[in-house]
Amino acid sequence: MSALTDPALVACPHCAAPNRVPVARLGTHPNCGRCKQPLFTGAPLAVDAAGFAAQVGKGSLPVLVDFWAEWCGPCKAMAPAYAAAARELEPRFRLLKVDTEAVPELAQRYQIRSIPTLILFAGGREVARHSGAIPAQDIVRWARANA
């Protein structure tokens, strides 16, 4: 795993404000300087296009994105595993969920052909992609190996 920029630039999951957080303090439950809410919730963050742009474009943490849809059985089956992976990967990663029905422009931009698809972004760029449901430990291993 590559070293994080220090201080890390963390986009708030609530108000999208960029926060500078020393890497050593990432695990100390830091709050947002603007809205005072926790920068990490231990859960995947559902985003629209603007939220995606803030998290992937403005933050320095690697961002893992689950592209899913309500009608997709395997997506729903993987949801608890993805939530468990978020508890383990935060605060070194940000985990997002993109509903491909609600935000079709993102599904189109990243040419999502099957779901669930996981895409890992680092420095705003796609660095790895995996299609198909996998268990929590495989999500964690895959993310750490590719970040």
Tell me which DSSP letter residue 123 carries.
Answer: T
Taking CB under 5 A as the binding criterion, the range among 29-37, 89-97, 99-107, 133-141 that sits at the site for Zn ion is 29-37
Helix 136-146 × helix 73-89 angle, to 10°: 60
CA–CA distance, 12 with 14 (Å, rounded to integer): 5
**CB burial readout 109-124, b (16+ within 10 A) else e:** ebebeebbbbbbbbee
Nearer to Zn ion, 68 or 94 (CB): 94
Q: Judged by CB under 5 A, does residue 49 bind Zn ion?
A: no
Structure tokens at 130: 């995996």
Among candidate residues 12, 32, 35, 75, the one labeled active-site is 75
Strand pairing report for 94-99 and 63-68? parallel
Q: Give me the least distance between CB of 93 and Zn ion, in Å please.
A: 18
Q: Judged by CB under 5 A, does residue 32 bind Zn ion?
A: yes
Q: Judged by CB under 5 A, does residue 86 bind Zn ion?
A: no
Q: List the one residue from 12, 81, 85, 115 that touches Zn ion (CB under 5 A).
A: 12
Q: Judged by CB under 5 A, does residue 35 bind Zn ion?
A: yes
Q: Give me the least distance between CB of 51 and Zn ion, in Å please.
A: 12
Question: What torsion do the CA atoms of 73, 42, 64, 101 make, to the nearest 10 degrees?
Answer: 40
Q: Judged by CB under 5 A, does residue 9 bind Zn ion?
A: no
Nearer to Zn ion, 46 or 69 (CB): 46
12 by DSSP, 3-state: which? coil
Binding site for Zn ion (CB under 5 A): 12, 14-15, 17, 32, 34-35
